[in-house]
Amino acid sequence: MRGLSGKVVIVAGGGRGIGAATARRLADEGAHVVIGDLMGDWAREVADDIVAKGGKAVGVDLDGTNAESQAAIVAKAVESYGGLDAYHSNLAGGTEGDVDALNCPVEVLDKSFAINTKSHFLATQAALPKLIERGGGAMIYTSSGAASGGAAWQVAYPMTKNAIHALARHVASKYGKEGVRANVICPGLVLTEAVKQHLTDEYVERGLKAIPHTRLGDPADIAASVAFLASDDGAWVNGQVWHVNGGAQMRD
């Protein structure tokens, strides 16, 4: 990919799954990667593995819901690699107890909001000044097909994911003239470790039957899209919500 080598990219929620695959892909492309995760040891393990294979990466503790922690990971990127070119705000969680609107406790909504919306806002506040200082850069947010899929079984996750789309459009509109691009990726069903652990074989089989594709998603499928959006090849993509899902939802 053009213009990714030497770029400094933060991957938040990069300790496993889609984030870890993205960190590895970015490093393969020659980017310098700062991996943050609530599970700091996972982040350090991914970073150590990248370094062992000749790449450039560092892993740190990150609580994405905390402004100081977001400021610290941006400071780490600047201290380690001299600046920041892109921030992949990928973390998510807090879906336990998230059911239909009549039965979802407000505490579950608050928790989902903190992890799945507020963290992306705080990431944006921490990263933007450094991107602008650099003459521009990319914010890439991970949302979900659940944001637009009309999930009957849960209310908070889709609500809080949708808010990210508005955030990205705001950032794209307000800071585009300063060289900042902001885009969202909505994965379909991707077979990460967590998905494999928590979903039954029957659910996964149903997921495959429901899409016009030969297979379900691999974390590398999403990593490739993030790498493109962070690279110079993605230079004219701004303010978009991309559904990367094997055709599960076909959207304009």
Ligand X SMILES: NC(=O)c1ccc[n+]([C@@H]2O[C@H](COP(=O)([O-])OP(=O)(O)OC[C@H]3O[C@@H](n4cnc5c(N)ncnc54)[C@H](O)[C@@H]3O)[C@@H](O)[C@H]2O)c1
CA dist., res. 24 & res. 4, Å (int): 13
| Residue 43 C-beta: closest distance to ligand X, Å | 8
The residue among 86 and 236 lying less far from ligand X, judged by its C-beta, is 86
CB 36 within 8 A of CB 11: yes
| Residue 42 C-beta: closest distance to ligand X, Å | 6
| Residue 177 C-beta: closest distance to ligand X, Å | 28
Vertex 119: Cα angle to 133 and 96 (nearest 5): 160
The residue among 13 and 137 lying less far from ligand X, judged by its C-beta, is 13
CB 204 within 8 A of CB 216: yes
CA proximity to 229, closest of 152, 141, 128, 146: 141
Residues classed as catalytic: 157
CA proximity to 1, closest of 97, 86, 115, 105: 86
| DSSP H helices in 95-236 | 106-113, 119-133, 146-149, 156-175, 193-198, 201-209, 219-230
CA dist., res. 242 & res. 79, Å (int): 32
Q: Extract the tokens encoding 61.
A: 């503790």
Strand order across the 241-244 sheet: 56-61, 32-37, 8-12, 86-89, 137-142, 180-187, 241-244
The residue among 130 and 243 lying less far from ligand X, judged by its C-beta, is 243
**Burial class of 129 by CB neighbour count within 10 A (0 to 12, 13 to 18, 19+):** exposed
The residue among 90 and 183 lying less far from ligand X, judged by its C-beta, is 90
The residue among 59 and 145 lying less far from ligand X, judged by its C-beta, is 145
CA dist., res. 151 & res. 40, Å (int): 32
Residue nearest to ligand X (CB): 17
| Residue 156 C-beta: closest distance to ligand X, Å | 12
Q: Which residues bind ligand X (CB under 6 A)?
A: 13, 15-19, 37-39, 42, 62-65, 90-93, 115, 119, 142, 144-145, 187, 189-190, 192, 194-195
